[in-house]
Amino acid sequence: MPNISTTTTGIFPKVSYSSDVPSLRANLHKSDRGEISKEELEIIIQKNIERVVTEQVAAGIDLPTDGLMRWTDLFSPFVQAWDGITRRGIHRFYDTNTLYGEPVIESELEFQPSQNSTDFTIAQKFGAKKATLPGVFTFAAACVDTFYNDEKKLREVIATNLLEEAKALIEAGAEIIEIHEPELAWQSAVSSSQLADVEELYKKFGELGAKIIVVSYFRNFSNEIAESLAAAKVGIGIDFSKPTEIQDLDASLVQIGIVDSRETKLENFATLAERKADAIAKFPNAEIIFSTTSHVEYLPHEIALQKIKLLKNLK
């Protein structure tokens, strides 16, 4: 039997009402209207970070995240922090009903620390172990590049900045960093040179010293992409609610999206048991982390809590 643990994926729901902590959603609107100060909002954000970590711990999650309470989309903390990048209009995030602010590269992209590692430091006090970053290819694909006009160069610069973010998270105590790369699964075809780029870029993350897991959702990686990630010595995320080509993969760490984050219907025991058996049969020698399939914020808060509680039954 492989080593099995549990986690959640991505942004956690921002509650509209709670008897325990101030509503983050309501107070973000108040902040936009100038009704509360930045200092007051910061206290509320930190209380909500505590809330989402303790909810995960109470649900029996082995590798809680900080819930990404400050994130409005996959790119927002970094667009706000780094020099040379801003945002304009909003766009649909793949085939979801959620939106992201379009990052625009206006000048040399220079690293400035985001709030990500600071938030993780707060979350770690309550039991957080896993941090999150956007993927290099997904970030680059979302950008409007008015400066480099060179896709490969843009990816290299984004990777350099994200590596700095990863180092800061590790220094803050992150044991695992989950990197979101749906773009690599969304592409209909990937060239051999791009496969080499995947391996080269993610090898740098794999050498940082913490466990790295590169995940997709909505669609799964091709076998070729998965092999390139495995060659880079990083873990691989697979959405077991979607068809997958991945087979005969020599991976030491896999994260299996087993509870569907985009469906409010609760999985039954038989479904989860079948998916668990399939995962163990497919990866008998790998460390397995069972998780939600994608961002938990796609679910209403109460349903999200019920969903993540299902994961403890897989241990």
Q: Given this model, what pLDDT does residue 18 score?
A: 64
Section 162-170 average pLDDT: 98
Pull the structure tokens for residue 166: 């990863």
- Backbone angles phi and psi of 211, in degrees to 5: -75, 135
Task: Compute CA 64 distance to the chain's CA centroid, rounded to the nearest angstrom.
Answer: 12
* pLDDT per residue as tens digits for the range 30-60: 777 878 888 888 888 899 999 999 999 999 9
Give the CA distances from residue 132 to residues 77, 129, 150, 268, in Å, rounded to whole numbers and listed in that order. Answer: 11, 10, 26, 29
Question: For residue 29, is pLDDT > 90?
Answer: no
pTM of the model: 0.94
**Domains of the chain: total:** 1
- How high is the pLDDT of residue 153? 96
Q: pLDDT value at position 109?
A: 96
- Strand 144-145 and strand 130-134: the pairing is unpaired
pLDDT at 129 over 80: yes
Confidence of residue 19 (pLDDT cuts 50, 70, 90): low
Task: Please name the residues in contact with 146: beta carbons below 8 A apart, sequence gap of 6 or more.
Answer: 104, 105, 106
Q: Note whether 14 and 4 are within 8 A (CB).
A: no
Which residue range(s) make up the domain with 185? 4-314
Q: What is the pLDDT of residue 1?
A: 65
Tens-digit pLDDT profile for residues 137-148: 999 999 999 999
Q: What is the mean pLDDT of the chain?
A: 92
| Alpha carbon distance 171, 34 (integer Å) | 35
pLDDT of 231 over the 80 cut: yes
What is d(CA 131, CA 168) in angstroms, rounded to the nearest whole number? 11
Summarize the confidence of residues 8-16 as an average pLDDT: 89
The mean-pLDDT minimum among 60-64, 116-120, 253-257, 281-285 falls in: 281-285
Whole-angstrom distance, CA of residue 132 vs CA of residue 124 = 13
Q: Write down the pLDDT at residue 40.
A: 84
- Residue 297 DSSP one-character state: G
Query: Is the CB of residue 232 less than 8 Å from the CB of residue 203?
Result: yes
pLDDT of residue 294: 94
The answer, yes or no, to whether residue 247 has pLDDT greater than 90, is: no
CATH code at position 136: 3.20.20.210
